[in-house]
């Protein structure tokens, strides 16, 4: 194994972040199987909310372990992968990818990049890599190792230098959950080329910005079935408690986001614990207050959406 790839693998296995070149833009990569690594990605980007991330894999077989492909999705993948097309697909039951990569959605965005260094890392490490563009939130996507250094030097453990990105704009994102695919973000793979392959027209979401649909607007967006009560300072015996720090006494059941009030740990646990509490016999979920700093903003944003 190339020593840079070996070093990157070692870091990724320790939940550290590695910037990777792709043919589109540089990505800020973390182990997509690890909630902690994915929480670190959000922390590094300084996003005020959780946007779902793209998970990069090395083969269609690997992708099929994590998501359900209907015939249309399989055709798109066979034709355009490796390459600048991201497919949003239903997560398979028991999918091992961190729920935080999906930001609580029931879908997952997958792609196989074509950059040789990215592919080598994906193959050699045998890890699925969550990687948004390696810029801070609200800034433009980096297309060289130097850009990444300027954006995120203090947040990444290693930057793999793969030269200038060949394409320089982000991948086309296609929702392929249903029978009729829809373009969620425009990119290098054009609508025409997709239509030509499938032999029928496909729709484009009317929004052309980088984040076409906020997670809160997506249909498959996960919200707990039970009522969710925020900023709880007391809890009753028919409620399940989402604790942060010393848990309130008296709950029917408690899930601890972080006993030490660590926001990264809380972010890593959030989506899984919401689901766990939702599956208990409790009447409602009560969430303890989370401070509005750093990742706390994104956690509060998500809790507010889930509560409304």
Enumerate binding residues for Mg ion (CB under 5 A).
133
Q: How many Å apart are CA 71 and CA 75, to the nearest integer?
A: 6
Using the rule CB under 6 A, which residue among 21, 128, 132, 142 binds ligand TXA? Answer: 132
- Site membership for ligand TXA, residue 54 (CB under 6 A): yes
Using the rule CB under 6 A, which residue among 133, 144, 256, 269 binds ligand TXA? Answer: 133
Site for ligand TXA in 143-172 (CB under 6 A): 170-171
Binding part of the chain for ligand TXA, among 101-109, 233-241, 256-264, 284-292 by CB under 6 A, reads: 101-109
**Core vs surface per residue 174-189: b (16+ CB within 10 A) or e:** bbbbeeebbbbbbbbb
Q: How many Å apart are CA 147 and CA 22, to the nearest integer?
A: 14
188 interacts with, out of ligand TXA, Mg ion, none, CB within 5 to 8 A per kind: none
> C-alpha distances in angstroms, 110 versus 48, 77, 138, 287?
23, 10, 23, 32
The residues near 196 (Cβ < 8 Å, ≥ 6 apart) are none
User: Cβ(241)–Cβ(234) under 8 Å?
Assistant: no
Which H or E run contains 80? helix 71-80
- Site membership for ligand TXA, residue 12 (CB under 6 A): no
Site for ligand TXA in 217-256 (CB under 6 A): 218
The CA radius of gyration of the chain, in Å to the nearest whole number, is 20
Q: How many Å apart are CA 155 and CA 37, to the nearest integer?
A: 12
**Core vs surface per residue 260-269: b (16+ CB within 10 A) or e:** eeebbbbbbb
State the nearest-atom distance from the C-beta of 302 to ligand TXA, in Å: 14
State the nearest-atom distance from the C-beta of 48 to Mg ion, in Å: 14
**What six digits make up the tokens of 183?**
């373009």
Cβ closer to ligand TXA: 175 or 265? 175
Beta bridge mates, 89: 108
Q: How many Å apart are CA 122 and CA 128, to the nearest integer?
A: 7
- Site membership for ligand TXA, residue 107 (CB under 6 A): yes
DSSP string, 199-227: TS--EE-S--SSS-S-GGG-TT----SS-
Beta bridge mates, 111: 56
171 interacts with, out of ligand TXA, Mg ion, none, CB within 5 to 8 A per kind: ligand TXA
91 interacts with, out of Mg ion, ligand TXA, none, CB within 5 to 8 A per kind: none
Binding part of the chain for ligand TXA, among 21-29, 190-198, 262-270, 275-283 by CB under 6 A, reads: 21-29
State the binding string over 112-131 for ligand TXA (x if CB under 6 A, else -): -------------------x
Q: Which of 89, 91, 271 is nearest to 184 (CA)?
A: 89
Using the rule CB under 6 A, which residue among 34, 58, 86, 98 binds ligand TXA? Answer: 86
- Site membership for ligand TXA, residue 51 (CB under 6 A): yes
Cβ closer to Mg ion: 133 or 256? 133
State the nearest-atom distance from the C-beta of 28 to ligand TXA, in Å: 8
DSSP structure class, residue 38 = H
Cβ closer to ligand TXA: 167 or 284? 167
State the nearest-atom distance from the C-beta of 292 to ligand TXA, in Å: 23
Q: Which of 31, 32, 26 is nearest to 9 (CA)?
A: 31
Cβ closer to ligand TXA: 105 or 277? 105
Which residues make up the interface to ligand TXA (CB under 6 A)? Answer: 22, 24-25, 27, 51-54, 86, 88, 102, 105, 107-109, 131-133, 170-171, 173, 184-185, 210-213, 218
């Amino acid at each position: 194994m190339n020593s840079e790839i070996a070093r990157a693998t070692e870091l990724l296995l320790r939940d550290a972040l590695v910037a990777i070149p792709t043919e589109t833009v540089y990505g800020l990569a973390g182990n997509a199987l690890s909630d902690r690594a994915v929480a670190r990605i959000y922390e590094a980007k300084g996003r005020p909310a959780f946007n779902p991330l793209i998970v990069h894999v090395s083969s269609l077989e690997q992708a099929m372990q994590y998501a359900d492909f209907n015939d249309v999705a399989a055709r798109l993948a066979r034709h355009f992968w490796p390459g600048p097309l991201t497919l949003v697909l239903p997560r398979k039951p028991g999918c091992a990818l961190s729920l935080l990569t999906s930001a609580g959605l029931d879908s997952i965005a997958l792609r196989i990049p074509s950059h040789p260094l990215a592919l080598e890392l994906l193959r050699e490490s045998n890890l699925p890599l969550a990687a948004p563009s390696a810029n801070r939130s609200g800034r433009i996507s980096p297309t060289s190792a130097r850009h990444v250094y300027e954006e995120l030097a203090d947040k990444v453990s290693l930057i793999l230098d793969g030269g200038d990105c060949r394409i320089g704009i982000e991948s086309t994102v296609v929702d392929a959950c249903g029978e009729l695919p829809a373009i969620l973000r425009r990119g290098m793979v054009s609508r025409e080329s997709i239509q030509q392959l499938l032999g029928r027209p496909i729709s484009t979401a009317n929004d052309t910005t980088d984040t076409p649909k906020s997670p809160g607007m997506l249909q498959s967006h996960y919200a707990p079935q039970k009522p969710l009560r925020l900023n709880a300072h007391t809890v009753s015996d028919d409620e399940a408690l989402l604790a942060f720090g010393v848990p309130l006494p008296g709950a029917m059941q408690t899930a601890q986001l972080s006993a030490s009030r660590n926001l990264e740990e809380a972010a890593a646990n959030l989506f899984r614990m919401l689901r766990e509490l939702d599956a208990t016999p409790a009447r409602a979920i009560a969430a303890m207050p989370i401070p509005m700093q750093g990742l706390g903003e994104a956690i509060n944003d998500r809790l507010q959406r889930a509560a409304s």
